[in-house]
Amino acid sequence: MPWKVAPVSELRIALIHYVRTQHHTVADAAREFGVSRKTAHKWLTVYDDQPQQPLLDRSRRPIHSPAKTDDTLEQLVVDIRQRFNWGPRKIHAYLQSPQHTLPSIRTIASILKRSGCIDPPPAPPPDLQRFERPVPNDLWQIDHKGPIEVERQKLVPLSILDDHSRYCLAFEPLVDRTMARAWNVLWNVFGDVGLPGSILTDNAFNTMGIDRPVGLSWFDARLIRLGIRPIHGRPYHPQTQGKVERMHGSVDRELLYFNARRDSTSHFIADAHAWRTTYNNLRPHEALGDHPPVTRWRPSNRKRPDQLPEPNYPSGSLTRKVCQEGIVRYSGYRFLVGRGISSQFVRIEDHAKELKIFYCHHELRSLSTDQLLKDKVI
């Protein structure tokens, strides 16, 4: 049978009645009710001071707090939160300077909580396989953010992010998701900062599908002509582009739901540009040791040419022109290489037991003689 434990409030009232009404000593009462004499005297003193008030614990908060955070610094913390919508860790990293004696990250969180500025903590993310390229411009991640209504029209911003430094190279509102519009933005970024080694996108920039399992898209073909390797995440797996997806979460918290003006496209573009400047140059990034992306970013040494190069093959190469359906004909066979390179030339290497097809330096197909069929497109 479990012990029956009386609430502390009932114990206090019983002890006070035992002393004040039945006239027992404090020592006897403390022994009878299983508390120390010091506690018994405290209860009696509280009752004598305020006999009509409930016997509740008084606040243990000290009257004077010499180590309390300065009011000016507290207001500065709140102002930074209201300006950027950052969390305690980023505010702590941003304020680090000889001019400020900073409280801990936990204290900053308490300041934000007292001020009604802080959100409840998010659910812990699942265990994910993480990767990071060793140097800037080794890999860029590109993705469209979901539609945003600005001036009664839907805009789909195109985001370009450097994988190593998390530097946001572009956050450009576009009126649609076509490859041509995305390419115009990317071409201008190439001109500003140079060429990356690889670009990671989802399959919106790819022609591969159930009915077209192989081949190049128009977008990928242009990357290859610049010496850039196109990479695609597998379908329905946004975690592959986790860094740019995480940046889109910051866009929601710090721009769209915070201070972006949507009354006109020009206002929204100006606010997006200001946010990107803050994101790159001021905002501490936890994955970068609480330093902003600009501390790890540098432009590429590979300069963009003035015009997109045409495919070029060594003299004497065996070449074939791609028809409008994205098919190459050779030696009675038909090979699918993608409509993205229709009307252009590919190079063919015909070995004894293997046939290879190249677009520029990129190997498109590699087929053994057992796979060659003349009655269907391969």
Domain final residue, candidates 114, 147, 166: 114
Q: What is the domain range of residue 96?
A: 72-114
Which is higher by pLDDT, 119 or 176?
176
2 pLDDT band, cuts 50/70/90, is very low
pLDDT at residue 353 above 90?
no
pLDDT at residue 235 above 70?
yes
Percent of the chain whose predicted confidence (pLDDT) is above 90: 46
Condensed to tens digits (0 to 9), the pLDDT of residues 163-222 reads 999 999 999 999 999 999 999 999 999 999 999 999 999 888 886 543 455 788 999 999
Residues 271, 176 share a domain: yes
Residues 93, 190 share a domain: no
pLDDT at residue 121 above 90?
no
pLDDT for 211 equals 47
Residues 189, 82 share a domain: no
Residues 44, 86 share a domain: no
Cα separation of 52 and 48, whole Å?
A: 9
pLDDT for 102 equals 83
pLDDT at residue 144 above 70?
yes
Residue 325 lies in a domain: yes
Mean pLDDT value of segment 48-53: 70
Mean pLDDT value of segment 85-100: 85
Q: Do residues 339 and 209 touch, judged by C-beta distance below 8 A? A: no
| Global pTM exceeds 0.75 | no
Residue 104 lies in a domain: yes
State how many domains the chain has.
4
Mean pLDDT value of segment 53-81: 76
Condensed to tens digits (0 to 9), the pLDDT of residues 236-245 reads 767 778 899 8
